[in-house]
Chain A
Amino acid sequence: ETGVTQSPTHLIKTRGQQVTLRCSSQSGHNTVSWYQQALGQGPQFIFQYYREEENGRGNFPPRFSGLQFPNYSSELNVNALELDDSALYLCASSRDGTNTEAFFGQGTRLTVV
């Protein structure tokens, strides 16, 4: 079975721009969660999608938004980028909305300048 893949691996954007990050979930998984990992910190939960619906959200502003597609792949969109948005963005997939057995991708390193 294929693992979780994220694209791109690295990205540099300018403050105020918009960015889209992509995630392909592991085969058989219908739930995708996104996390932000700032340098030297643990991952922080952004939101989760289960069968194309948002299933929970962490303490992130509305300019962080997402989508899940019928094949359960997902996008994370961030508008009006700020310098503090620079981080590693991790996608995790799991079965049936529980996120208990979460498998992570390698992440997208976003740098905002």
Chain B
Amino acid sequence: GDSVTQMEGPVTLSEEAFLTINCTYTATGYPSLFWYVQYPGEGLQLLLKATKADDKGSNKGFEATYRKETTSFHLEKGSVQVSDSAVYFCALSLASGYSTLTFGKGTMLLVSP
């Protein structure tokens, strides 16, 4: 079945460090890919998305490129802030039939001053 695998956390960084959170997927069709962020005590917020191969999603300094050849959608940010501390979820959605989100297990990011 369809699945998403993320690197395990927590990822602990100092402010202004470079961030990479790895995400790979398995899907039978041609999925759209997403990164969601969950701040403590809150629901999920869409961070960025990409709907086809080689698309780059970007938002708030975060970027991720849809790599079909490696089935990956790694999240990157050049300089993290303390306020970026949260849990990040990679997810996919298939375009056919009813579309639902299949999530990875999430990666906690902790940024210290």
Query: How far apart sit A104 and B91, CA to CA, in the bound complex (Å)?
Result: 14
**B98 near A97 (CB under 8 angstroms)?**
yes
A41 in the interface (beta carbon within 8 A): yes
B17 in the interface (beta carbon within 8 A): no
Query: How far apart sit A41 and B103, CA to CA, in the bound complex (Å)?
Result: 9
Query: How far apart sit A42 and B91, CA to CA, in the bound complex (Å)?
Result: 9
Query: How far apart sit A106 and B97, CA to CA, in the bound complex (Å)?
Result: 27
**B97 near A45 (CB under 8 angstroms)?**
no
Give the residue of B43, B93, B95 whose beta carbon is less than 8 angstroms from that of A105: B43
A-B contacts, 25 of them at CB < 8 A, read: A4-B43, A33-B100, A33-B101, A35-B101, A40-B105, A41-B105, A43-B101, A45-B101, A45-B102, A56-B98, A58-B100, A90-B44, A92-B44, A92-B101, A98-B99, A99-B98, A100-B32, A100-B51, A101-B46, A104-B36, A104-B43, A104-B44, A104-B45, A105-B43, A106-B41
